[in-house]
Amino acid sequence: KAGVTQTPRYLIKTRGQQVTLSCSPISGHRSVSWYQQTPGQGLQFLFEYFSETQRNKGNFPGRFSGRQFSNSRSEMNVSTLELGDSALYLCASSFDRPGTEAFFGQGTRLTVV
């Protein structure tokens, strides 16, 4: 059974550019969440998508957005990149029922220069 797949694994962008990251969840998982990990802030929740609808949103500026497609694949977009956006971006997928675990992908390492 394939795990959560995130692409690309590494990305270098320039300040002011925008970036799109992709996440393919485990087959059958309809909930996809995104997290940002930085040395100073730890693992922080960005947003969750379920059935193509954003269900929860973390405390991030509007430059961070996402979407989910009918096959449950998800993308997140960051516009007008800032140096502080450099981080490991993680995607997690899960079934949508109580008592189920979230499984993470390998992450995308974004470096903004």
Residues that bind another protein (CB under 8 A): 4, 6, 31, 33, 35, 42-45, 48, 50, 55-56, 58, 88, 90, 92, 94, 96, 98-99, 101-107, 109
Q: Tell me whether residue 52 or residue 80 sits nearer to another protein (CB atom).
A: 52
Contact 78, 17 (CB under 8 A): no
Give yes or no for a contact between 108 and 77, defined as CB atoms under 8 angstroms apart. no
Nearer of residues 6 and 80 to another protein, judged by Cβ: 6
CA–CA dist 78, 93 (Å, integer)? 20
State in angstroms the smallest separation of the CB of 55 from another protein.
Answer: 5
Task: Tell me if residue 87 falls in helix, strand or coil.
Answer: strand
Compare residues 16 and 40 and give the one whose CB is closer to another protein.
Answer: 40
How far apart CA 18 and CA 63 sit, in angstroms, is: 9
Tokens of 96: 């949508």
Q: To the nearest whole angstrom, how small is the minimum distance from the Cβ of residue 16 to another protein?
A: 25
Q: Output the smallest distance, CB 17 to another protein, in A.
A: 22
**Rounded distance, CA 69 to CA 53, Å?**
9
User: Which residue, 38 or 80, is less far from another protein as judged by CB?
Assistant: 38
